[in-house]
């Protein structure tokens, strides 16, 4: 193996600036990154324990039991008092009951403010791990080790943590930035095709709202882009993370600019809830972006070519473009309690052009219905 190979090259480091009294942190993208964990945990993060360096809780989904245990063992060998906490897979982890189970495990382990939570898994795992860290003793250090495309480019970066309720997705949560994010690209090789393609939706979203070069890379060979072995996979992930890092650095708590990251998500979250979270997040976001594009077009904000490009690029990689036409009343009701809504005023992110996201407040109900008609199966 040459010293310039991807497996031995230094990781790409993207900095997320601190704000609102929080510290900044780095997102590392590369291969063989678990050796970076102790440096992120650090002596300052863990007070002395029976094992010497402090306590670390490794939260992982059932599907990654082997990986979670390997991380725990590695930390234990380095002197940390490490425990592993197994979570349900995917969105089933993001419940108050699972969070309470984690709090109990931390309490039984004697977790203090100087100890560290590590979330190893997809976006649901890092959402839950961050929320547990945010709420235990009013906030302890945590590190994200995302293992999916979605986790790397979206969930693990930005400090949003949360769980779902019966009323909707991510309605309970906290802004609690991690101490660092390790995106080991080797983890993507074990992803199933549907999970990998689902993550592409968030990358494509970054292309439409801020970095059109992403769209060009995918459109150059959409079939190849469906695989982590695509020649431009690392670049796509890096570009998407840079988009999010720049936005989050300017607006941690979604008081303005950060809302643009929710492009396509208002309808997407309603679809996910309607499907009892059996739809992949990226699949729902894909439909949500097509809806947002049609909404922008009908509102006179978006040109036809850019609106049509949504269908073309999303469809080319195999993401869904439609949803059940008879579900509009239920979806509309769910969207009324979306985090972006203000009272009875529905708010959507639309495009005024490629790379020009804006807020659309209180659109005419007839336009909303017409836009949904364009994505109805």
373 assigned ligand-binding residue: no
127 assigned ligand-binding residue: yes
SS3 199: helix
169 assigned ligand-binding residue: yes
> Which positions ≥6 away from 239 have C-beta within 8 Å?
203, 206, 207, 211, 213, 214
> Which positions ≥6 away from 13 have C-beta within 8 Å?
26, 27, 28, 29
158 assigned ligand-binding residue: no
94 assigned ligand-binding residue: no
**Strand intervals (E) in the chain:** 12-16, 25-30, 55-61, 81-87, 116-121, 141-146, 160-165, 168-175, 180-184, 347-351, 357-361
DSSP 252-282: TT-SSGGGGGGTTHHHHHHHHHHTTT-S-HH
Residue 92 CA to chain centroid, in angstroms? 16
CA dist 22 and 141 (Å) reads: 12
339 assigned ligand-binding residue: no
281 assigned ligand-binding residue: yes
159 assigned ligand-binding residue: no
104 assigned ligand-binding residue: no
340 assigned ligand-binding residue: no
Tokens in use for 98? 């699972």
CB 263 within 8 A of CB 340: no
Quickly count: other Cβ atoms within 10 Å of residue 32's Cβ. Answer: 12
Tokens in use for 35? 């050796």
CA dist 111 and 205 (Å) reads: 38
174 assigned ligand-binding residue: no
CA dist 92 and 361 (Å) reads: 32
Alpha carbon of 30 to those of 53, 60, 178, 208: distances in Å? 27, 21, 18, 25
123 assigned ligand-binding residue: yes
DSSP 307-366: HHHHHHHHHHTT----B-GGGHHHHHHHHTTSTT-BTTB-EEEEESSTT-EEEEES--HH
Summarize the annotated binding site for NAD(+) as residue ranges: 123-127, 147-148, 160, 169
Summarize the annotated binding site for Zn(2+) as residue ranges: 202, 265, 281
Summarize the annotated binding site as residue ranges: 123-127, 147-148, 160, 169, 202, 265, 281
């Amino acid at each position: 193996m040459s010293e310039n190979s991807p497996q031995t090259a230094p990781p790409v480091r993207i900095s997320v600036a601190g704000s609102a009294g929080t510290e900044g942190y780095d997102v590392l993208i590369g291969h063989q990154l678990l050796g970076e964990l102790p440096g992120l945990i650090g002596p300052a993060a863990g007070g002395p324990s029976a094992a010497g360096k402090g306590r670390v809780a490794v939260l992982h989904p059932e599907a990654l039991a082997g990986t979670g245990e390997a991380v725990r063992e590695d930390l234990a060998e380095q002197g940390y008092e490490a425990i592993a906490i197994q979570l349900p897979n995917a969105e089933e982890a993001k419940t108050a009951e699972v969070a309470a189970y984690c709090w109990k495990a931390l309490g039984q382990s004697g977790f203090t403010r100087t100890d560290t939570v590590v979330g190893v898994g997809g976006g649901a795992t890092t959402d839950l791990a961050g929320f547990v860290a945010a709420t235990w003793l009013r906030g302890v250090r945590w590190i994200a080790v995302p293992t999916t495309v979605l986790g790397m480019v979206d969930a693990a970066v930005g400090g949003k943590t949360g769980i779902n309720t019966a009323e909707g997705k991510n309605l309970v949560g906290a802004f609690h930035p991690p101490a660092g994010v390790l995106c080991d690209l080797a983890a993507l090789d074990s992803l199933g095709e549907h999970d990998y393609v689902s993550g592409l939706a968030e990358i494509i979203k970054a292309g439409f709202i801020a970095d059109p070069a992403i769209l060009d890379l995918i459109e150059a060979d959409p079939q190849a882009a469906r695989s982590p072995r695509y020649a431009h996979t690392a670049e796509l992930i890096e570009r998407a993370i840079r988009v999010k890092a720049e936005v989050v650095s300017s607006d941690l708590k979604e008081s303005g600019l950060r809302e643009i990251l929710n492009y396509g998500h208002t309808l997407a979250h309603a679809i996910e809830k309607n499907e009892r979270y059996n739809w992949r997040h990226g699949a729902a976001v894909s439909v949500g972006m097509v809806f947002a594009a049609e909404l922008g077009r009908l509102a006179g904000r978006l040109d036809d070519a850019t609106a049509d490009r949504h269908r073309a690029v999303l469809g080319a990689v195999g993401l869904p473009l439609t949803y059940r036409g008879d579900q509009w009343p239920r979806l509309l009701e769910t969207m009324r309690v979306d985090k972006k809504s203000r009272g009875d005023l529905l708010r959507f992110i639309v495009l005024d052009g490629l790379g020009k996201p804006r807020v659309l407040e209180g659109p005419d109900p007839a336009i909303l219905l017409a836009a949904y008609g364009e994505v109805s199966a």
